[in-house]
Amino acid sequence: MLEWNELDNRAVDTARVLAADAVESVGNGHPGTAMSLAPAAYLLFQKVMNHNPLEPRCMGRDRFILSVGHSSLTLYNQLFLGGFGLELDDLKNLRRWGSKTPGHPEFGHTDGVEITTGPLGQGLASATGFAYSQRFEKNLFDPNTEDSPFDHFVYVLASDGDVQEGVSGEAASLAGHQKLGNLVVIYDSNQISIEDDTNISFSEDVNARYESYGWHTQTVDWKKTGDYKEDVHALYAAIQEAKQVTDKPSFITLKTIIGWPAPNKQDTGGIHGAKLGEDEVRATKEILGFDPDKNFQVESDVLDHSRLLQTRGKQWQEQWQQKFSMWQSANPDKATLLDRLTNQELPAGIEDSLPTFDQESIATRAASGKVINALADQLPELWGGSADLAGSNNTTIEGAMSFGPSEATTDTWTTDPGGRVLHFGIREHAMAAILNGILLSGHTRVFAGTFLVFSDYMRPAVRLAALMGVPAIYVWTHDSIALGEDGPTHQPVEHLTVLRAIPNLTVIRPADANETAQAWLAALKNTTGPTALVLTRQNLPVMTKQDNPNPELLQKGGYVVGENHSDPEGLILATGSEVAIARDAQAKLAAKGLNVNVVSMPSFELFDSQDQHYKDSVLPPNVTARVSVEAGLAMPWAKYLGAGGASVSIEGFGASASYEVLYEKYGITADAVVEKFESVRN
């Protein structure tokens, strides 16, 4: 039974006027949704969710995702009222430099914010990953307990824009397929966006769509009578019903009036993304019984009442801690594993688990698959898969079951709720967003693969991973025009440049199988941002111990392979499959009496992070005759080549032919490198 009194009503109205005042003060923002969603947000934070404002990262907490990120005040007001660390001055500093209340919620910046949202659809899509994480970790640590300390719910507030974005549909399809019963979405159907009434572009039956995805759906209509009534009891009952449905995610359509009760601007596009204006703010305050001459008015009895959540949260956490302590005592080995994961540590000696390769040649995608399986036994927290390209990406943990409900088992794959092999179908964008949710919610490490060209479909979520510092691992194979006959639609050319332009994304393109093993180690060690492993379709020669005695130098991003001349006449820089071409060019130049060093540069980001002494030892400043060779754009190489250097590159799209023909036709050859070097040397 929901307990709700006049102080609760007053707290909700306080959130409304704070939203209006905060946006009015800064002069820009999104007040309307924060005003009309105040009852729903307050209901979740104060009456529904298990959490503790004094320890907002408590592992057992329910997770809240404000997918409608532009309505940041919907969240900030609850963090203030509930006592999560925000105070009134923080609301007064909305959207200002250095404040705890930026224009959109940012993970790691404000206590109580679970995920950075803003680009619509991303929060709703990543929520599926949050639910994935809960189920996987429950099965990893405590699979047979009915009331487990690893149980929790994921609650989402989403908007018309969120459910319009394609990525949310991709993820919702997976959430329904996976039967994620701990995921509850409240869809704020106010039917207003920047261009005003959404009927101009959006008229579908959203509940029917989600039902077709396999969701449990309900509607709570606050507009169904002649007088608008914010029936929090009806919404609470819908949430409780949703929680009882354990074999489907739940979708509650909440029909609201944006900006209610602003007398002139409610239910218009004008209140969506702009301040109300002084007269409208005053009128709204008068309707709600607030002093129109006072700004940021918070009555002490209201704040005292809402901050009782701290007491309730502490009591809940004490009860949760008892369950957790009992689990620790009963499962010491798993508790030790959880401690390692919580501290973001790898097992001691994990380097010894890496395979070494001495065969003549192997594709780096195939080598990556062998590395994954060599690490799998040592890293029970490692799971992943691909966007319907498991055989091409080599992303399957052999012998492991697939993550999914038992009825999803096929002739090829056997499913289990705690399976380690992920199948995303052909949903690259949702795949990347789900990885973000998995990593933000829990303690595991997860990877996902597709062809490099389809990183385009993932990029918005990849960018957010980099922004948030989420340690996702992307396995991007078929990394150049060398994938051959599929032609230019599948042949990445500009993609390395585009990905290298994303701050905090570490891109690694290994030259052979042993570099690939080291690339995986670098990815696992990187806990402050995502890592992209860029791998070949075609076989590459494996450098011998003599030619490359220290492949672990990949960890530094760049190093000399083959003969290392102390006073070289020039440098040839390359990544991935082109390192072999660079070494062939080195031999041709040596036959002409020219001593050059070949520098394998698998990761610009790792190399740039080294100290200047190391970088100068690899790229001596006095050696200005430099040539780069890479089957992509020349643009990112300029900073290493200097004014006297030049690139062997591809500046247009590919074509359909065998990779041998394509490399010859596009001039990615040792002879082309020799010719280019001779031109810069003279």
Q: Please give, one letter per residue, the 3-state secondary structure of 528-577.
A: CCCEEEECCCCEEECCCCCCCCCHHHHHHCCEEECCCCCCCCEEEEECCC
Q: What is the C-alpha separation between 194 and 277, in angstroms, rounded?
A: 17
Active-site residue 428, yes or no? yes
Q: What is the C-alpha separation between 653 and 455, in angstroms, rounded?
A: 16
Cβ partners under 8 Å of residue 319, min gap 6: none
Nearest to 608 by CA among 461, 472, 488, 504: 504
Phi, psi of 157 (to 5 degrees): -105, 120
Q: Indicate the DSSP class of residue 381.
A: T
Nearest to 590 by CA among 611, 609, 570: 570
Q: Is the separation of the CB atoms in 474 and 390 below 8 Å?
A: no
Q: How far is CA 329 from CA 339, 340, 341, 387, in A?
A: 13, 17, 18, 40
How is residue 418 written in tokens? 């705690």
Of the residues 428, 515, 578, 605, only one is catalytic, namely 428
Can you give the pTM of this predicted structure? 0.98
Nearest to 281 by CA among 25, 11, 12, 41: 25
Can you give the pLDDT at residue 102? 98
Helix-, strand-, coil-residue percentages of the chain, each rounded to 5: 45, 15, 40
Q: How far is CA 629 from CA 153, 482, 573, 679, in A?
A: 51, 14, 6, 14
CATH class assigned to 350-541:
alpha beta
User: Which amino acid makes up residue 284?
Assistant: T
Q: Which residues of the chain have pLDDT under 50?
A: none
Can you give the pLDDT at residue 225? 80
C-alpha 666, offset from chain centre: 36
Residue with tokens 């689990």: 327
How is residue 55 written in tokens? 């320890």
Sheet holding 559-561, edge to edge: 559-561, 596-600, 570-574, 626-629, 646-648
- 49-76 pLDDT per residue, tens: 999 999 999 999 999 999 999 999 999 9
Could you report how far apart the first and last alpha carbons of the chain are, in Å?
85
Can you give the pLDDT at residue 226? 79
Q: Is the separation of the CB atoms in 327 and 148 below 8 Å?
A: yes
Q: Indicate the DSSP class of residue 293.
A: T
The ranges of the chain annotated as CATH 3.40.50.970 are 6-314, 350-541
Q: What is the C-alpha separation between 83 and 81, in angstroms, rounded?
A: 6
Fold of 6-314: Rossmann fold (3.40.50)
The ranges of the chain annotated as CATH 3.40.50.920 are 553-681
Residue with tokens 């280019």: 676
Radius of gyration of the chain (CA): 28
Q: Output the DSSP codes for 332-356.
A: HHHHHHHHHHHTT-PPTTGGGGS--
Q: Output the DSSP codes for 19-68.
A: HHHHHHHHT-S-HHHHHHTHHHHHHIIIII----TTSTT-TTPPEEEESS
What's the length of the chain?
A: 682
Q: Indicate the DSSP class of residue 357.
A: -
C-alpha 682, offset from chain centre: 48
- 203-219 pLDDT per residue, tens: 999 999 999 999 999 99
CATH class assigned to 553-681:
alpha beta
